[in-house]
Amino acid sequence: MSDAATSERRRARLASVPAVERVMSMHAVQALTQAYGRTQAVEAVRVSLDALRAELLADVDADVAASAGGDADASEAATRYDAQIVARASALLEQRARGHLRTVFNLTGTVLHTNLGRALLPDEAVRSVIDVLTRPANLEFDLATGARGDRDDLIEDLICELTGAEAATVVNNNAAAVLLTLSALASKKEVVVSRGELVEIGGAFRIPDIMARAGARLREVGTTNRTHAKDYEEAINARTALLMKVHCSNYAISGFTKSVEIDELAQIAHHHALPVAFDLGSGTLIDLAQWGLPAEPTVRGTVDAGADLVTFSGDKLLGGPQAGLIVGREALIRKIRKHPLKRALRVGKLTLAALEPVLRLYRAPEFLAQRLTTLRLLTRPATDMHAAALRVQPSLQHALGERYAVTVEPMFSQIGSGALPVDQLPSYGVALRVATARRGGRALVHLEKGLRELPRPVLGRIADDTLRLDLRCLEAGDEAAFIAQCAELRL
């Protein structure tokens, strides 16, 4: 075919692409305009038309190479493309309307997964958040006196009741709680910390860095594995502002070790008229051992042991929203509250609305394992996950076909978020392996991607040529949705 004939065919093909205005007047597109507004609809139609033109040109070139038959009548072709254009525009609009923050299935086996948003809120908290976000609330208004109030007042008594502390304040997260505590109490002074507790929590939270940001001088004592009372004693001088203890939440040292417990450290501090602060990290409000979970120091126990200040997260074991709680001696909390950083790190009404109902659940510990989502997930019996795995397995196997083998297997869940990193909770789930290929590495990665690209992405854990989906966090309400979604899997 001559060059002239080719460009003639190109021109004819492009002429068959409908004009924007004609597409906009189509019934199906008017529905899109109604749903998304004209501006967005026009833009989506333009993009679809551009894509169609590019495809047609590519087609012509391919046809030329294959010397395929002549063009259909232009008007006939135009109608043929209509459905394609509408479908593309509609998909585009739908995709753009979908938020970037999306819900997923957390089947990683890590209950408090920092990258997946940590603790899930119980219904009470969700209802409270909706209420307070859609109506005015007394965030900083004292309803008893009609005067201006402090947002901490809303929640301080409850925190004190649950922890035995004299006073409490709440900030954006626990990193902020530590930064604020050090800034308010130890700026330009020394803080004594054991070398065994200079931890990195992840996400660039390192105790020495926070210390520097707060303008405090870190006075390291002891060694990585052993720190003694006399190490602290010897480090105390006129510039010392604070002794600090950090809970080794995300690692464990075993073997020849020694650390100074909080009660002994408090005695040393108080003997020198100094306060002691304890960064508990995941601090729990209640003894988890009563549910057969590994013991973690409680906030109340730490306060009782003499800690003058305790900092901990709201969205780890506590099971609430992202927040950092600081509890302790009234005089110290007052100083912390007055520091200018408090204003910068304060929580919004969303956080307070979620936190209060979660804390209130702790007043009835006998219902906690049912009502507090985090605790319910952590205490879920393995038999539950086993039954769920037996229900999920057939749909998943059907969706995956013969290429993959889906088996029900025992696995181990983790608490996550740095809490009790060594302890694992017996669970059940489905293990996905490549059945056909001898080495299934690529096929497994392909499967992982397929699951991740589902409307509600499914996230598991790959190890030893196996993709494991731990069903601990797939509760009854979500199980049906998960099973239904299996049919949409495209590999």
Ligand X SMILES: *Cc1c(COP(=O)(O)O)cnc(C)c1O
We find the least distance from the C-beta atom of residue 352 to ligand X, in angstroms, to be 16
Q: Which is nearer to ligand X, 129 or 317 (CB)?
A: 317
Contacting positions for ligand X (CB under 6 A): 173-175, 201, 205, 246-247, 249, 279, 281-282, 313, 324, 418
Q: How many residues does the chain have?
A: 491
Q: Which is nearer to ligand X, 42 or 299 (CB)?
A: 299
We find the least distance from the C-beta atom of residue 240 to ligand X, in angstroms, to be 22
Q: Which is nearer to ligand X, 201 or 400 (CB)?
A: 201
Closest-approach residue to ligand X (CB) = 281
We find the least distance from the C-beta atom of residue 370 to ligand X, in angstroms, to be 25
We find the least distance from the C-beta atom of residue 176 to ligand X, in angstroms, to be 7
We find the least distance from the C-beta atom of residue 156 to ligand X, in angstroms, to be 19
We find the least distance from the C-beta atom of residue 333 to ligand X, in angstroms, to be 18
Q: Which is nearer to ligand X, 92 or 171 (CB)?
A: 171
What are the phi and psi torsion angles at 479 (to 5°)? -60, -45
Q: Which is nearer to ligand X, 222 or 324 (CB)?
A: 324
Q: Which residue has the tokens 């302890």?
A: 423
Q: Which is nearer to ligand X, 193 or 396 (CB)?
A: 193
Q: Which is nearer to ligand X, 174 or 413 (CB)?
A: 174
Closest CA to 319 of 213, 241, 419, 249: 419
Q: Which is nearer to ligand X, 227 or 282 (CB)?
A: 282
8-state DSSP, 457:
-
We find the least distance from the C-beta atom of residue 200 to ligand X, in angstroms, to be 10
We find the least distance from the C-beta atom of residue 251 to ligand X, in angstroms, to be 10
Q: Which two tokens stand for residue 352?
A: 């307070």
Give the distance, in angstroms, between the CA of residue 341 and the centroid of all CA atoms in the same chain.
25
Q: What are the CA-CA distances from residue 476 to residues 127, 306, 367, 411 (Å)? A: 20, 43, 19, 19
362 Cβ neighbours under 8 A, 6+ residues apart: 162, 285, 286, 368, 372
Q: Is the C-alpha dihedral spanning 89, 94, 96, 97 positive or negative?
A: positive
Report helix, strand or coil for 333: helix
Closest CA to 320 of 174, 460, 206, 176: 174
- Find out whether 364 and 340 touch, Cβ atoms under 8 Å: no
We find the least distance from the C-beta atom of residue 13 to ligand X, in angstroms, to be 58
Q: Which residue has the tokens 């510990």?
A: 365
Closest CA to 336 of 305, 345, 163, 138: 345
CA angle 173, 174, 180 (to 5 degrees): 95
Q: Which is nearer to ligand X, 175 or 354 (CB)?
A: 175
Closest CA to 369 of 299, 291, 261, 256: 291
Q: Which is nearer to ligand X, 168 or 451 (CB)?
A: 168
We find the least distance from the C-beta atom of residue 216 to ligand X, in angstroms, to be 16
Q: Which is nearer to ligand X, 259 or 282 (CB)?
A: 282
d(CA 351, CA 481): 29
Question: How many other C-beta atoms are found inside a 10 Å radius of the C-beta of residue 287?
Answer: 15
Query: DSSP H helical segments within 324-456, as ranges?
Result: 330-338, 340-345, 349-361, 365-371, 373-378, 382-400, 441-452
Look up residue 20 and give its amino acid.
Answer: V
- Find out whether 407 and 444 touch, Cβ atoms under 8 Å: no
d(CA 290, CA 424): 17
We find the least distance from the C-beta atom of residue 324 to ligand X, in angstroms, to be 6
- SS3 for 267-309, per residue? HHHHHCCCCEEEEEECCECCCHHHHCCCCCCEHHHHHHCCCCE
We find the least distance from the C-beta atom of residue 196 to ligand X, in angstroms, to be 13
- Find out whether 451 and 489 touch, Cβ atoms under 8 Å: yes
- H or E stretch including 142? none
Q: Which is nearer to ligand X, 348 or 455 (CB)?
A: 348
Q: Which is nearer to ligand X, 422 or 437 (CB)?
A: 422
We find the least distance from the C-beta atom of residue 331 to ligand X, in angstroms, to be 24
